[in-house]
A and B are shown apart, each in its own frame.
Chain A
Amino acid sequence: MAVSLSKGGNVSLSKEAPGLKVVRVGLGWDTRVTDGSGFDLDASVFLLNEGGKVRSDADFVFYNNKNGADGSVVHQGDNQTGEGSGDDEVVVVTLDQVPAEIQKLSFAVTIHEADARKQNFGMVSNAYIRVVNGDGGTEIARYDLSEDASTETAMIFGDLYRNNGEWKFKAIGQGFAGGLGPLAQSFGVNV
């Protein structure tokens, strides 16, 4: 991962920015100019308990379930083409409002209908996912999907997790096959 964090590395958000209240995960990409189905990338978050599973299906925050954990995790909306400059999909996390039982938030990015459309991240121009300090906008970590996840169709970007009273972010950057459904199931979501 470029910027300040490499794959497998972790950073203490509380130390990085004392008093940090809000974290934003942003997903961006360019609209398709060549012929074929448009590129529809989706950001999602799994709110996990100590056992690494969701408490209920409501803890799977994505474009069809935008408000998680009493508003502490909010998906700003589905962008189906990448239209617009800057981040095209954003998830906002208000750290001190995340329920105590939630130990980890796992962020994933997937390509909608990747198999049917025969698409992967490498075919998309300038696709990235990043985590940003919600106050001031300093980028904490960024993953270049087009370049480094080129033959993948889905990826776990990283985890926001509690450790000894602090919030930390761990960079993962691991691809997986099968799409959002199987990933959600692995976290205990009923799909």
Chain B
Amino acid sequence: MSVSLTKGGNVSLSKEEPDLSKILIGLGWDTRTSDGADFDLDASAFLLAAGDKVRSDSDFIFYNNLRSGDGSVEHTGDNRTGEGDGDDEALKVELTRVPADVQKIAITVTIHEAEARRQSFGMVSNAFIRIVNDATGREISRYDLAEDASTETAMIFGEVYRNNGEWKFRAVGQGFKAGLAPLARNYGVNIG
């Protein structure tokens, strides 16, 4: 039975699935077009060490940096295929390979060229993030982002993090009006 989270809530993935080693983080959404401009939503991940900062810019996983150096996190590509129960983009994480100094993986979605296209998450509906046991295909937990009229253009959907020797998932749903730049800088990434 998939654990459904509300904003701010968390669940222990380790407790739900003993021996969990590989997860698929699936993200999905529906968009309303505005002025005919296409929506290009991009999923990305930040590998965070103590203090919620990346160790280097290569800890920012996105469509131009699909794999973390140690292979623990892989972005499955900027590609809408309609496969996988409605996931629009996905990230695979091999939990047992995540380096010991990485405490948290933040999963974010940004709207490409949001300002130029005058788009925001207020125009996005049915957004969700889910955690799937990649070995069995079973959905462990899911967070359906409720529709708040929102002006954000970059959103932290959720976090996968260590706590007391376990891996946990937290429903976040908080973001930034000004987009990817403040989001990435907040995590210590150098954004030009």
Q: Give A residues with C-beta under 8 Å from B.
A: 33-36, 118-123, 125, 147, 150-151
Check B152 against A35 for contact (C-beta < 8 Å): yes
For the complex, count residues of B whose C-beta is within 8 A of A: 19
Closest 4 interchain pairs by CB? A122-B8, A34-B174, A120-B8, A123-B8
CA of A96 to CA of B145, assembled, Å:
51
Residue of A nearest to B177 (CB): A35
Task: Say whether B163 contacts A123, CB under 8 Å.
Answer: no
Picked from B8, B148, B156, B163, the residue with its CB within 8 Å of the CB of A151 is B8
With known contacts A34-B174, A35-B177, A147–B10 Cβ distance under 8 A: yes
Is there contact, CB below 8 Å, between A35 and B174? yes
Instruction: With a 10 A CB-CB cut-off, give which of B10, B177, B186 has the most chain A CB atoms.
Output: B10
Q: Which B residues lie within 8 Å of A120 (CB)?
A: 7-8
Q: Can you name 12 extra interface pairs (CB under 8 A) apart from A118-B148, A122-B8, A151-B9? A: A34-B156, A34-B176, A35-B175, A35-B177, A118-B7, A120-B7, A120-B8, A122-B7, A122-B9, A123-B174, A150-B8, A150-B10
B142 within 8 A of A: no
Query: From B164, which residue of chain A is reached at the shortest CB distance?
Result: A2
In the complex, B170 has a CB within 8 A of chain A: yes
B6 within 8 A of A: yes
Find out whether the CB atom of A35 lies under 8 angstroms from the CB atom of B176: yes
Q: How far in angstroms is the closest Cβ of chain B from A41?
A: 14
Q: A36–B9 contact, CB under 8 A?
A: no
